[in-house]
């Protein structure tokens, strides 16, 4: 079950050829996907050969093959992690009962909604990032961007398979709609806020892959704890691919921080911008922006939707089966600060209603570990500046703190103070224009842009000076 059949038009490990109707429906969706990819996927290097990894098996550790491929020839397909015999529903009212192989009628709409929301993010991120390669700081960075993009394309395939295989005609309609919405479009935007934000510079790309893809890790982890086994198996395999995306983001920001620190030290006034770099307070503003948008993706702190998903066994907490003993969470309350009459007061809330917040807290702990590593890099570079994550109440647009004025430490401030100080904390138009002005393509083998340190390691044991992108020779002018 874990080895992948690449002989079929749609590579898969789900024995697709045994279900001709499903196979035909997906083969009909395939050209629409390719049209979408060619239209709003990467806009440069589409026809050059990129050093990409492709899944060859879904066994842990044994699934990647590296080689040069043209992106439109990438073999997108349907890969589920192997079935775990005897798996039981990890959490909620049905905890301990056998998992479902088909969709229970009473949970059909909720499951479809969760799968559509998850699916929508995958093509959205590819659309957001489609012009980035035209200003890539190195060929290895361009390659990493494309690796992330083709895998988001495959994650879309994974979700579309679930919609086609388990949700009949409305699943097929939803799959078509996934190719019709567009990131940032005024009339047909993507579903979640962060996926309509522009992503036009590489500092944004690194923050996005570090923070927003990390939300993906936690949401997929929570869906991997689903009682609907095909969803769980799909997410478990997606999670193995997600780790690389997170490292692209974490190491990308780290390289910017190192270079910024070096340029700060080099300048007699300590001004990295005067040396053609990105100053450290600007990097902090990008962190503030993307961390806040990414924690919005966990939804409202107090959510009856989240309580219902948990009760029904559709979603679990992070590592629900492995790390928790009480999988029912009935009669348990937790206290959280809520805004009432102009101040924050502690309120006890039933744990089931706090499931979005529980997942967000697991995410924040993970993100904090990344910041520790970034600060270690700054220390190694001999600079006093330290970066930090803003408080989870800062600059929120979803949930109980939405649109309230909090400073980055989470203190409630008045509106006038917010207005006076927000440009210290968040990117201004001038900051964005400055960062964008540094974005020029560096396509020489082993070369890297001035504003970022070179990576310390290459991909798959290759050196940085490797031909990660084999560019077609430009025809000579006559």
Binding site for ligand BYC (CB under 6 A): 114, 117-118, 121-122, 125, 152, 192-193, 212-213, 215-216, 219, 296-300, 303, 305-306, 356, 398
Least separation in angstroms between residue 128's CB and ligand BYC is 9
Nearer to ligand BYC by Cβ, of 267 and 308: the residue is 308
Extract the tokens encoding 304: 């009856």
Nearer to ligand BYC by Cβ, of 54 and 222: the residue is 222
Least separation in angstroms between residue 315's CB and ligand BYC is 6
Alpha carbon 230 to chain centroid distance?
21
For residue 333, list its beta bridge partners: 350
Least separation in angstroms between residue 337's CB and ligand BYC is 17
Q: Is residue 327 within 8 Å of 92, Cβ to Cβ? A: yes
Nearer to ligand BYC by Cβ, of 23 and 219: the residue is 219
Q: Is residue 254 within 8 Å of 228, Cβ to Cβ? A: no
Residue nearest to ligand BYC (CB): 299
- Report d(CA 29, CA 16) in Å as an integer: 14
Least separation in angstroms between residue 356's CB and ligand BYC is 5
Nearer to ligand BYC by Cβ, of 219 and 264: the residue is 219
- Report d(CA 195, CA 184) in Å as an integer: 7
Least separation in angstroms between residue 228's CB and ligand BYC is 13
Nearer to ligand BYC by Cβ, of 115 and 383: the residue is 115
Nearer to ligand BYC by Cβ, of 227 and 299: the residue is 299
Least separation in angstroms between residue 192's CB and ligand BYC is 4
Task: Please identify which residue in the block is written with the tokens 């088909």.
Answer: 102
Extract the tokens encoding 396: 């929120």
Nearer to ligand BYC by Cβ, of 279 and 358: the residue is 358
- 311-320 burial, b at 16+ Cβ within 10 Å, e below that, comes to bbbbbbbbeb
Nearer to ligand BYC by Cβ, of 395 and 451: the residue is 395
Least separation in angstroms between residue 417's CB and ligand BYC is 26
- Report d(CA 175, CA 163) in Å as an integer: 7
Q: Is residue 312 within 8 Å of 105, Cβ to Cβ? A: no
> Which of 390, 358, 357, 396 lies closest to 371 in space, CA to CA?
390
Task: Please identify which residue in the block is written with the tokens 């570079």.
Answer: 381
Least separation in angstroms between residue 387's CB and ligand BYC is 21
> Which of 36, 64, 38 lies closest to 51 in space, CA to CA?
64
Extract the tokens encoding 67: 């080689």
């Amino acid at each position: 079950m874990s080895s992948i059949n690449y002989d079929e038009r749609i590579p898969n490990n789900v024995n697709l050829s045994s279900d001709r109707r499903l196979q035909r429906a997906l083969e009909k969706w395939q050209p629409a996907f390719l049209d979408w990819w060619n239209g709003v996927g990467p806009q440069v290097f589409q026809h050059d050969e990129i050093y990409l990894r492709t899944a060859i098996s879904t066994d842990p550790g044994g699934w990647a093959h590296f080689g040069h491929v043209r992106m439109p020839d990438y073999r997108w397909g349907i890969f589920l992690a192997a079935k775990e015999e005897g798996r039981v529903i990890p959490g909620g009212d049905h905890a301990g009962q056998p998992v479902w192989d088909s969709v229970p009628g009473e949970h059909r709409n909720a499951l479809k909604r969760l799968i559509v929301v998850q699916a929508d993010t995958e093509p959205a991120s590819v659309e957001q990032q489609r012009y980035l390669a035209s200003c890539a700081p190195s060929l290895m960075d361009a390659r990493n961007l494309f690796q992330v993009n083709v895998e988001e394309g495959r994650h879309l395939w994974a979700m579309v398979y679930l919609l086609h295989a388990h949700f009949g005609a409305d699943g097929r309609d939803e799959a078509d709609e996934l190719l019709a919405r567009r990131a940032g479009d005024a009339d047909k935007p993507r579903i979640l806020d962060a996926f309509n934000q522009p992503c036009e510079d590489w500092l944004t790309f690194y923050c996005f892959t570090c923070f927003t893809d990390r939300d993906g890790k936690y949401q997929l982890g929570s869906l991997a704890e689903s009682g609907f086994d095909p969803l769980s198996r799909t997410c478990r395999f997606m999670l193995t691919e997600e780790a690389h995306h997170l490292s692209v983001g974490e190491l990308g920001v780290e390289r910017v921080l190192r270079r910024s620190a070096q340029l700060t030290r080099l300048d007699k006034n300590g001004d990295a911008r005067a040396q053609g770099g990105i100053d450290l307070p600007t990097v902090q503003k990008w962190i503030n922006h993307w961390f806040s948008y990414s924690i919005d993706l966990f939804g409202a702190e107090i959510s009856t939707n989240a309580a219902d998903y948990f009760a029904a066994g559709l979603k679990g907490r992070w590592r629900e089966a492995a790390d928790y003993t009480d999988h029912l969470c009935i009669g348990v309350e937790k206290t959280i600060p809520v805004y009432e009459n102009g101040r924050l007061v502690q309120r006890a809330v039933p744990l089931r209603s706090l499931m979005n917040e529980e997942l967000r807290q697991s995410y924040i702990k993970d993100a904090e570990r990344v910041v520790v590593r970034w600060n270690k890099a700054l220390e190694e570079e001999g600079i006093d500046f330290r970066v930090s994550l803003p408080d989870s109440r800062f600059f929120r647009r979803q949930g109980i703190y939405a649109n309230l004025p909090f400073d980055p430490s989470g203190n409630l401030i008045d509106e006038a103070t917010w207005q006076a100080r927000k440009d210290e904390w968040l990117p201004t138009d001038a900051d964005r224009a400055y960062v964008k002005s540094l974005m020029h393509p560096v396509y020489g083998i082993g070369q890297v842009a001035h504003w970022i340190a070179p990576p310390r390691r290459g991909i798959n044991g290759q050196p940085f000076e490797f031909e990660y992108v084999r560019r077609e020779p430009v025809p000579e002018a006559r």
